[in-house]
């Protein structure tokens, strides 16, 4: 009768609750957890690959942004930038230099030494024969005698 009093007391309180109690797993539960673990490993591997890919994309993108920032900061500080301007060469054979000049303003941009190939090129003077003038002193003497 003592047991019935305890049961009556518990039933009288009306409280039913869950308690975590360690129980051995069945074979079916072990297989299900094994399958779940395999899926979790695969999911983690895929997530790690996505993470690595995104890290590489971020690194490349952030490097491009930082590089562009440095260029812009440099231009702001110097208040100058390099631009592609049309230019032409003027050769000064007597000094052995090539002057690089702007095509729009003809201003001197810079000078450099002439190359050996540029020295070998004929000078850009018009041919005297084409202009109706004798080319040498002998030809001039012959023309004067005639």
| pLDDT category of residue 1 using cuts at 50, 70 and 90 | very low
pLDDT digits (tens, 9 = 90+) for 73-128: 999 999 998 889 999 999 888 899 999 999 999 999 999 999 989 888 877 666 65
C-alpha–C-alpha distance, residues 114 and 89, integer Å: 10
Strand order in the sheet with 97-102: 87-92, 97-102, 108-113
Tokens, residue 72 = 């812009």
Per residue, what are the HEC states of 78-116?
HCCCCCCCCEEEEEECCCCEEEEEECCCCCEEEEEECCH
């Amino acid at each position: 009768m003592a047991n019935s009093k305890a049961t009556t007391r518990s039933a009288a309180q009306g409280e039913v609750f869950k308690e975590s109690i360690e129980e051995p797993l069945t074979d079916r539960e072990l297989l299900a957890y094994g399958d779940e673990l395999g899926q979790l490993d695969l999911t983690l591997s895929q997530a790690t690959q996505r993470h690595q890919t995104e890290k590489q994309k971020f690194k490349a993108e952030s490097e491009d942004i930082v590089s562009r920032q440095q260029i812009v900061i440099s231009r702001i500080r110097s208040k100058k930038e390099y631009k592609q301007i049309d230019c032409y060469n003027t050769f000064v054979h007597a000094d052995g230099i090539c002057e690089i000049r702007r095509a729009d303003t003809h201003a001197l941009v810079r000078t450099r030494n002439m190359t050996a190939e540029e020295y070998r090129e004929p000078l850009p003077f018009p041919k005297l024969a084409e202009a109706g003038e004798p080319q040498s002193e002998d030809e001039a003497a012959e023309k004067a005698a005639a």
